[in-house]
């Protein structure tokens, strides 16, 4: 057996075993969608076992903002692993976690003074919800135990997170009978640059006024509703939400897991409205895609209210909380981001996407295109066939992972003009024949 035949045989075995043993996210074991074996990644390129190379338009679900195999992040991981890769965070601390928490307090909106570390975005949301509930219990208002969320919102796949995702059009509607029941307001309709109309917040305003004695918090994704539809909305809506939360004594939770660390053109999407939430969730890009890590920040008022209550502490403690290896890489990733001209990079990506997407409006199957920062969205008139369209994208030498009617890109910030153009040309080639 020659080397080429041997390599092909090894690839076949991996893919066969993948289909036999591995359950991928949002996939069916009855009708599995083919997976593609990555053997190496560098810059914005994924190298497959069959020798092909793909430009990654997804930044590995929006987290690999610096691209792959970055020397600074590699060095941070290697340096930390030779010291210690993990210690429990109960009663023990270490420099990587302390430095990270200090940085997060310094760069996030003013007033977010305390940081609780966890290991995934969904858990960061669970922590935020739990913080809000425990705060009101601790200050003697246990009846404030409901949440107000938005239609078309998405906050994760764990149970408390699912309960504040869109209950009708979201991915979790089938769990309706087993999820906690909360309140939902219509999704914002006015776009980022459109003229404000107070009618857009009218129903939200009515709900929060009527339910204020039951509401612990409002939870939303600021400016960009991500996996619930890739929808962009007016900063004025977010400003009004902050005002209404203050007026009715309701906490505001900002889920910046997808939008944090520059993706929208601001370091955090809350900056578009100039507001600070009471609690903020971070994840995804925090380590540049190297390690799983998340953070929930809160105000001193929230932390004090929790800690001066009956329990005397926040009742949560993930085993891998504050993992030093992840924290070390996160510190290197944030240093890399903040020392770069990331704003210029995002403006460059936004300008290129705006130009490239103009021609998509001429495709019959396309309903709408939109761009904000490093996010480009092509909304189709009907849902795409994921298995089929994925094969076509791979044949074009690009990696794009659509869902429903949405074909979108959120590439690494380091993507070059020619790479972004090739990415968009590949998408155009596929969609123009759809």
- Other Cβ atoms less than 10 A from the Cβ of 21: the count is 7
- How far the first Cα of the chain sits from its last, in Å, is 41
User: Residue 320 half-sphere exposure, CB side, CA atoms within 13 Å?
Assistant: 12
Active site residue: 255, 266, 278, 405, which one? 255
Q: Are the beta carbons of 182 and 214 closer than 8 angstroms?
A: no
CATH code linked to domain 36-69+341-431: 3.90.1150.10
Identify the bridge partners of residue 220 per DSSP, sorted by sequence position: 254
- Integer Cα distance of 152 and 402 in angstroms: 17
Q: Are the beta carbons of 153 and 135 closer than 8 angstroms?
A: no
The residue extents of the domains of the chain are 36-69+341-431, 74-339
- Integer Cα distance of 261 and 105 in angstroms: 13
Rg (CA), the chain: 22
SS3 state at 272 = helix
pLDDT score recorded for residue 404: 94
Active site residue: 68, 135, 154, 413, which one? 154
Name which of 230, 228, 231, 273 is nearest 252 in CA terms.
273
pTM above 0.85, yes or no: yes
Name which of 121, 434, 57 is nearest 294 in CA terms.
121
pLDDT score recorded for residue 172: 79
- The answer as to CATH 3.40.640.10 being correct for domain 74-339 is yes
Q: Which residues contact 347 (CB under 8 A, 6 or more apart)?
A: 265
Identify the segments of the chain with pLDDT beneath 70. Answer: 1-10
Angle in degrees, 0-180, between the axes of helices 235-248 and 202-211, rounded to the nearest 10: 20
Give backbone dihedrals phi and psi of 85, rounded to 5 degrees, phi first.
-90, -25
**DSSP states of 45-57:** EEEETTS-EEEES
pLDDT tens figures, 171-211: 778 898 999 999 999 999 999 999 999 999 999 999 999 99
Give backbone dihedrals phi and psi of 46, rounded to 5 degrees, phi first.
-105, 125
DSSP 345: H
Active site residue: 114, 144, 284, 405, which one? 284
Could you write out the three-class secondary structure of 381-397?
CCCCCHHHHHHHHHHCC
| 255 belongs to the catalytic site | yes
- Report H helices in 308-416: 324-339, 342-357, 386-395
Name which of 276, 430, 426, 391 is nearest 36 in CA terms.
391
| 278 belongs to the catalytic site | no
Active site residue: 16, 26, 143, 361, which one? 26
The yes-or-no answer to whether 36-69+341-431 and 74-339 have a common fold is: no
Cα dist from 64 to 9, 259, 272, 404, whole Å: 31, 13, 23, 23
């Amino acid at each position: 057996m020659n080397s080429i035949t041997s390599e092909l045989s090894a690839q076949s075995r991996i893919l066969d075993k993948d289909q036999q043993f591995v359950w991928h996210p949002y996939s069916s074991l009855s009708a599995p969608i083919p997976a593609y074996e990555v053997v190496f990644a560098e810059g914005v390129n994924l190298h497959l076992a069959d020798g092909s190379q793909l430009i990654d338009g997804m930044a590995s679900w929006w987290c690999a903002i610096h691209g792959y195999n970055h020397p600074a992040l590699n060095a941070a991981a290697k340096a930390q692993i030779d010291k210690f890769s993990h210690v429990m965070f109960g009663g023990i601390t270490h420099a990587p976690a302390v430095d990270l928490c200090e940085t997060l307090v310094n760069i996030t909106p003013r007033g977010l003074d305390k940081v609780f570390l966890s290991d995934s975005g969904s858990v960061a949301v669970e922590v935020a919800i739990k913080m809000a509930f425990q705060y009101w219990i601790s200050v003697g208002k246990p009846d404030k135990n409901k949440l107000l969320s938005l239609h078309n919102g998405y906050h994760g796949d764990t149970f408390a997170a699912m309960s504040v995702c869109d209950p009708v059009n979201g991915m979790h509607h089938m769990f309706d009978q087993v999820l906690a029941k909360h309140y939902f307001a219509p999704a914002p309709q006015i776009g980022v640059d459109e003229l404000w109309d107070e009618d857009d917040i009218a129903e939200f305003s009515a709900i929060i006024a009527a339910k204020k004695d039951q509401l612990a918090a409002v939870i939303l994704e600021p400016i960009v509703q991500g996996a619930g539809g890739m929808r962009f909305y007016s900063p004025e809506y977010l400003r009004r939400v902050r005002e209404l939360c203050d007026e009715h004594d309701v906490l505001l939770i900002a889920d910046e897991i997808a939008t944090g660390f520059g993706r929208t053109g601001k370091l955090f999407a809350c900056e578009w409205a100039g507001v600070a939430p009471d609690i903020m969730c971070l994840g995804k890009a925090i380590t540049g895609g190297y390690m799983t890590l998340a953070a929930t920040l809160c105000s001193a008022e929230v932390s004090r209210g929790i800690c001066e209550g009956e329990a005397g502490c926040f009742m949560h403690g993930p085993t891998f909380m504050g993992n030093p290896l992840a924290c070390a890489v996160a510190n290197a990733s944030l240093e890399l981001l903040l020392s770069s001209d990331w704003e210029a990079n995002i403006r460059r990506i936004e300008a290129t996407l705006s130009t490239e997407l103009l021609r998509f409006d001429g495709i019959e199957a396309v309903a709408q295109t939109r761009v904000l920062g490093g996010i480009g969205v092509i909304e189709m008139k009907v849902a795409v066939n994921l298995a089929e369209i994925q094969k076509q994208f791979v044949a074009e030498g690009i990696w794009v992972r659509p869902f429903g009617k949405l074909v979108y890109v959120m590439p690494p910030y380091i993507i070059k003009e020619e790479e972004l153009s090739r990415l968009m040309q590949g998408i155009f080639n596929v969609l123009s024949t759809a």
